[in-house]
Each structure stands twice: as structure tokens, then as C-alpha cells.
Structure 1
Amino acid sequence: MTKAPDLPGATVLVERRRRHTLYFLEYAEALRPVHLDTEIDMTRVLAHRAAARERGVRYSVVSYLLHSAGRALARHPEANAVTLPSWPSRWRAPRTARFDGVTAKLALDRTVDGERTVLSALLPGLQDAAMDDIQRQIDRYRDGDLSDLPEFRGPRLLGRLPVPLGRLLFGAVLRSPARRPGIFGTVSVSSLGHRPVDGFYSTGGTAVTLCLGRITDRAVVRDGAVAVAPVMRLSLTFDHRVIDGGTAADLLGELKKTLEGFDDGEGSAGSDLRGADQDLRTGRPVAAGTR
């Protein structure tokens, strides 16, 4: 951190901790993002969370989306894909890589060396991962010491390298289809639901990016009557080079249906919803809990 000679009172930061983000943004300029969104009635998810919490199990809202998205993308392999960079792009047809497994790239808001930064955690095998397994992975990234987690060696290395070399390394890694799931994942997920944010849209470098807003009580219509229900805005950004709007809308609709009728089907600690029947009828959340 140094003082800027031509800007009295200003501080110039050497943004080593954010270089991986800046390299990604340069890559993302080639994407062709289109944005969709919908509102999700989260009554059943919150009932599931409350039932689990009574048994000493905590699930984050993000875990429910990851559980649902893994299975939905396995049924829509055309959306579990990415367009690979090609240079010069005007002379070569774009190449699309489809992946067998579903790996989420989950954006994390962490503090590194006293500064807030965004890091990406990878959660593989979502197509058949149990809720407990998903939550265990999230907890590891949330609570772990970043200096001890090997998954974040790449961003640390990019922050140490000279900028030209960092750009070259970043671009070279992205050209390999086999390495993409282990670097960018096959679907991107981000949440700002812990803040007063209803909805937002971002592009994570994959064919599909999912973004969660906050859960808040809203008026909904059920059986012709107005009720109060916990509602969450879910946005889906898709790369138009990879899929079209119809496929993206189908995927978003499937996620909405799955979350609104959530049942993990695993007999886990939170799967018993019978005690929440009254809350499901009225539309009131059993317990808001934490994200």
C-alpha cells in the first residue's frame, strides 16, 4: 500500500488478492449473458430446515439450491457445459464442452490479510450428493483456514506472479476441457441473501449461473385466497453461446418446482415435514433461521 504522488491524500493499492478476479473478468467479456429470474415459495424448504434443526442438523439455504441444481443439470446435460475459448475466434467455430458430473463453483465472501475478497469453492458430484455431504463441504470452506486449503493455491499463485505471466497462465488453464470442472466448475452459484438484496445477476464463466436473493415474507395466492409466504428471488444467467432461452427457462422452472416441493428423498434428519403441516397450509415459515 503506497501513497499516490499525484493524488494527495489518496492511497494506491496493489490488488494482488483480487488479481484472479480481474483475470476472470477479462475472460468473461467474451460471454453472451442473458438473464432470467423467478420467485420461489420457500415454505417447504424452511419447514425442512426447521425439522432438521430440531434434530441438531443445520442446512444452509444454498445447500438446498445445490442439491436441486445438481439433479436438474444432470437431466439437462446441454446446460452443464461451457464454451471453450478459441483464438482467433473469428476463424474458428466455438467449441462446447459438456460434462458428465455436476460441479458447483460457489462464490465465498472471505477476508484475506485483513481485506475482503471473493474466492470460489468447488463442490463436485452434485448430481447424486446427499444434503449432509453438500453441507459438510460448505462448512469446510466457510470455517477452514484459507492458508491450509489446497483449493485456493491457484488464486494465491496468480496474486504473486507478474501480471503478464498471470494472464498467460490463467488463459492457458482454461483451454483444457478436462481441467475446467476442477477450476471453474460446471455451474456457478452465488448468494447475497444474508443482505437486504432481493435479486442480482452475475456471470460465473459457466453456461448457467444461479444467484440467490434474500427470503422475505410476501403476499401469494393459494387456492384463490391471499396468504403470506416466505419468498426468494432466484435468478439464472445463461451464456447464449451454449444454450438458448427455452432450455434456460425449462431449467429455471424445474428448480422452482423442486424447491417449492422440496423432499430430499434421503430420510435425513430434516426430511420429516409432518410436523410442519399447519405452517405449510398458512404459508408462514416455520423458522427463518440463518442463511
Structure 2
Amino acid sequence: MAQVLEFKLPDLGEGLTEAEIVRWLVQVGDVVAVDQPVVEVETAKAMVEVPCPYGGVVTARFGEEGTELPVGAPLLTVAVGAPASGGSTEGSDTRGSGNVLVGYGTSEAPARRRRVRPARPGPSATPVPPEPAAAATVAPAATGQTGGLAGPGDATVPAADGPVPVISPLVRRLARENGLDLRELRGSGPDGLILRADVEDALRVAAAQGRVTQPTTGQHTRVATTTAPTRPAPVTPTAGTPTPSAPAGGRRIPLKGVRGAVADKLSRSRREIPDATCWVDADATELMRARTAMNAAGGPKISLLALLARICTAALARFPELNSTVDQEAREVVLFDHVHLGFAAQTERGLVVPVVRDAHARDAEGLTAEFARLTEAARTGTLTPAELTGGTFTLNNYGVFGVDGSTPIVNHPEAAMLGVGRIVPKPWVHEGELAVRQVVQLSLTFDHRVCDGGTAGGFLRHVADCVEQPAVLLRTL
């Protein structure tokens, strides 16, 4: 006899409390194997495929694409131990694998079999009847979960034609938030792929024609779990909605996803960390020459960011106070014996900070390769939460934006961040004479609780010395 098990949205990583459904990978009536990915979701940190710990027949899905679910909300129900139409559920398992999202925290298998308490289907549940043969087998167990599967004579929900080919979830979100139906567009990309420019052009045409677009109702409504009392969802103001706190006619951008996570972290940093900043100009001419010589010698090309990272790890070995965090409850400074180096990367999804694990143990080639891998993953939105957390020090190369200096906010809960401006030709006194040299401004923002200005200045001066005379690094290689 079939038994229906409910699979809930698992904990996707530290600090992540919700996720948005990007794309369903299975339909109701499909047979799924243990640990088979069933849905692609987007969190504040990355897009991930969520595997199901049960094997069997999918009897219901909860939430349409674009719906935001809290951790612990039902994702789908699976009838285990029931044959599917024209197939077999060999390998169906009610115990679960216990391996939901390896690397994100596992979900323990149920201690015993249980039936889910009967509940009336909510508006977010989308049960679709499987083939009649499967329905006859699954229905007795599924009735308690979804209020009964439709019989052959009942009305069915028409199957979707599948997701529209879109270049990125950001483009899909842009269309959704402006009430634009992607199925009405013809993509200009390869094989009809819809690009961001296609959506923006369609929105401009709609605006020129005086059509007002509104977000689709219910797509961003948070769905409550079926095992807890529901509470009214908070009303999110939409574009053009006047409120007492803001003038009418303004455009509102929700602080959610990556933008919301960054906002929360920066606000916490400002509240908790008494930071200070010091800076120095350095002659980077010799560092640039050294990099040119390395790359001319053959082998993988060495990036400038990798050389700066190698300088940082050498400086942190001399000034370990800056590779630390403050345990406020214990009132202690925790010094780390490893360097997990974060670096700021600007993407279409916003600012993210991937982390290079054990950067102190990598050479320039290894650092270059890891920076390239993480940057590409950041660009495509496939960074895992494990690759975005656990940093002990951050390197911020804001020079790529064409600016000379900045006073960045410390990446909580770290203790310091090194900022690097653009490297530009400037007049410089070199060996007693005025010359044109490649000059860079370096800044260090640090938590004044972990050290005083002498330590911070010593660290920054050592970094500048290595930039001006790369041979200084030979002492620590």
C-alpha cells in the first residue's frame, strides 16, 4: 500500500530562511528516485537544485514558479511503495537518503513512518492526476494529503508547455515583476533564447503605448506550511502604490534576495563593528613588471588579483590580529590559523563575496585558477552557500570600477578588509627624481576592537612594501 511522505524545503545554509522557486524539474505523476533533483530554487546566495530524499510517485507540488517559500514549507508529496503507470518504482524508499543538499546541511531521515495529517488543499498546491492506473493505486494514501486526487472524469489542470527559454533567472524576474508574459516574446538569442534586451524592449514598447503593467497576483506571496496556522502575509508595496511614508509615483525595489542579504549584513556590520580606515599610495610599477615577466615565462597566466591575494596572506602571517573575529558573547577575539580569503565580485544578481578556502596554502597559479572558477560561478549564479560563507578576511578590488579609493564596510563577522584602487600612471618621486610611475591607493578598514592603529598601519605598510618591491615576498615564500 502506498504511503505519502511530505518533503519540505530544507535548510539551505547559514542565515538562509527562504527561497524562490525558479523551475520545477518534475511533474505530478512522475516517478522520482532517491536524491533526484526535483526543483531549482534561488536563495539570497545562489541557485541550487534541491534533491528529494524519497523515491516514488510525485502526488502534489506546492508553489508555482516565482513563489517564495520559507524553510520548512512543503515542496511536494511523494507516494512511496506505489507503482507508476507503465513503470516501476524499484528503489522507492520511505526511509529517505538523509543527504538533502550535501554541503548545505543534511536532513535526517524520518525515525518512523507516519501519515501526514489530512488538510484541505491550499491555493499553492497543484495536484495533477497521474495516469488512471497510477491514480487507482496512489489515491488511497494521497487523499489524506491533498484532499483526494481527481478521477478520470474530473477536470484536470492543463499541463504547461515547459519553461520559456530565458538567458538567466534575473531576466525572468524582471519580466515577472513588471507583469510581462514571456510566452508573448520572441527571443533574439540563439534558438529563440530570450535576452534581457528583449524584455527591456518589450517594457519600453508597453510604456510608449500607455499600457500599465502590474506584477502577476500571488507570484511573490509567501506560502505557509500546512502543519502550522496560517497568518496573513505582509503586504509588499508595489510600484506606484502610495504610502504615508513615501510620495506617490515612486518606484519601489524590494530588499530581497541578494540585495536584501547584503543590506542586512552591512547594517549589522555598521551596528556592531567600530571600524576605522587608513590608506597609503604605493608605486606598483615593479609589481606590474613582475607579473609581466611571470606571464612571459610560459604556463598559466597569473592574475593581478592573485598576486595581491598572495601579498595579503603574507601580511596576515605577520599581523594575525587582522585575520580574526570578535565573539561578543564571550568577549574574546578569535584568531584563525587559516586564511579563507573573500573577494568582492559584482554580478547581475548584485554584490557577492566568494571565498577562497585556505588561500594561505595556495601559490599564485592556484589562486588565479580558484579566482577564475569562483568568478565564473558568481556570474552564472551557481555559487553554493558553502562558497559564500566562512571568510576570515576580504580583498576588495574596487579599482575595476575606475575609482582610486574607498572606505569599505567590513564584511561581518570578519575584522578587516583591504581595498585596492585602480593602478594609473602618476607623477612620482623615484630614486630622487620625478618620474611617471604606476600608482595605486591601498586602504584598510578594520575593527578597532581587535587591534589599534599601530597594528593596522604595520599591516598596510607591509602590503605596500610588497607591492613596491615584490622581492620582499621572498621572505615568506
Q: TM-score, normalised by structure 2?
A: 0.45
**Structure 2 residue 280 is matched with structure 1 residue 38:** yes
Q: What residue ranges of structure 2 are gaps of 5+ in the alignment?
A: 1-176, 178-237
Query: Which string of whole-angstrom CA distances, capped at 9 and with x for unpartnered residues, describes residues 38-88 of structure 1?
Result: 1111111111222233336433322221101112112222221111243xx
Correspondence list, 1:187-202, <5 A: 187-202=393-408
Any conservation in 2 of the 1:191–1:212 contact (CA below 8 Å)? Answer: yes
- Give the counterpart of 2:343 among 106, 112, 115: 106
Alignment match, 2:376: 143
Q: 1:99 to 1:233 in 2, by over 3 A?
A: same
List per-residue Cα deviations over 1:81-122 (Å, max 9, x = no partner): 111243xxxxxx62211100111111110113xxxx001110
Compare CA radii of gyration and give the structure with the larger one: 2
Give the counterpart letter for 1:190 in structure 2: N
1:1-291 alignment runs, 5 A limit: 1=177, 2-6=238-242, 8-14=248-254, 15-28=256-269, 29-54=271-296, 55=298, 57-86=300-329, 94-112=331-349, 117-144=350-377, 146-151=380-385, 183-202=389-408, 203-205=410-412, 206-263=414-471
Change (3 A) 1:42 1:153: closer
Q: Is the 8 A contact 1:71 1:126 kept in 2?
A: no
Q: Residue 439 of structure 2 aligns to which amino acid in structure 1?
A: V
Q: Which has the higher contact order (CA 8 A, sep 6+)?
A: 1
Q: Tell me, yes or no, if the aligned pair for 1:64 and 1:259 is still in contact at 8 Å.
A: no
Contact 2:341 2:393 in 1 (8 A): yes
Alpha carbons of 1:108 and 1:151: their partners in 2 closer, same or farther (altered >3 Å)? same
CA distance, structure 2, for counterparts of residue 20 and residue 192 of structure 1: 20
What is the alpha-carbon root mean square deviation over aligned residues? 2.2
Is the contact between residue 301 and residue 365 of structure 2 (CA under 8 Å) also seen in structure 1?
A: no
Structure 1, unpaired ranges of 5+? 87-92, 155-182, 266-291
Which consecutive segments of 4 or more residues in structure 1 shift more than 4 A? none
Equivalent residue, structure 2, for 1:280: none
* Residues 205-214 or 56-65, more deviating: 56-65
| Structure 1 contact 68–255 (Cα < 8 Å) conserved | yes
Look up the SS of the partner of 1:246 in the other structure: helix
Q: Is the 8 A contact 1:74 1:102 kept in 2?
A: no
Give secondary structure in 2 for the equivalent of 1:102: coil
Residue 281 of structure 1 corresponds to none
Deviations 1:196-237 (A, max 9, x none): 211001122222210010001111112221111100000001
Q: How many residues align?
A: 228
Verify the 8 A CA contact 2:279 2:443 in the aligned structure 1: yes
How many angstroms apart in 2 are the aligned matches of 1:10 and 1:249? 45
The AA in structure 2 aligned to 1:10 is G
Q: Distance in 2 between matches of 1:240 and 1:24?
A: 18
Identity %: 25
